[in-house]
Amino acid sequence: MAEDVFKALADPTRRRILDELTDRNGQTLFEICARLVTEHGLGLSRQAVSQHLAVLESAGLVVTRRQGRYKFHDLDTAPLEHIAGRWLRPRTPESTS
């Protein structure tokens, strides 16, 4: 699973999408596309952004939910916390020798 997270984070466009969801969680595809254009000057097609969101979702970084006709995208930081915890655990005296 960690490999999927690293692969998802390797792309700068996907990192920008995560930045946008950090700023305002629960956005639709249309809102994400609009913010990528206005905030970052990225004129990507909705299909391209949708494909990036699919990669982020398969890595567990984005969760989608449907409400009526709309599909909202939410950031899930659990995979990042798992990876960070892997290396940021407090050191014990036995692990420093």
Dmax over Cα atoms in the chain, in whole Å? Answer: 58
Please state whether 41 falls in left (phi above 0), alpha (psi between -120 and 50) or beta.
left
Reported pTM: 0.85
Is the predicted pLDDT of residue 38 greater than 60, yes or no?
A: yes
What residues form DSSP beta bridges with 72? 65
**2-81 to CATH, choices 1.10.645.10, 1.10.40.30, 1.10.10.10, 3.40.50.2300:** 1.10.10.10
The model's pLDDT over 41-96, given as tens digits with 9 standing for 90+, comes to: 998 999 999 999 999 999 999 999 999 999 999 999 999 988 888 777 766 666 55
- Mean pLDDT, rounded, for 10-30: 96
| pLDDT on residue 93 | 67
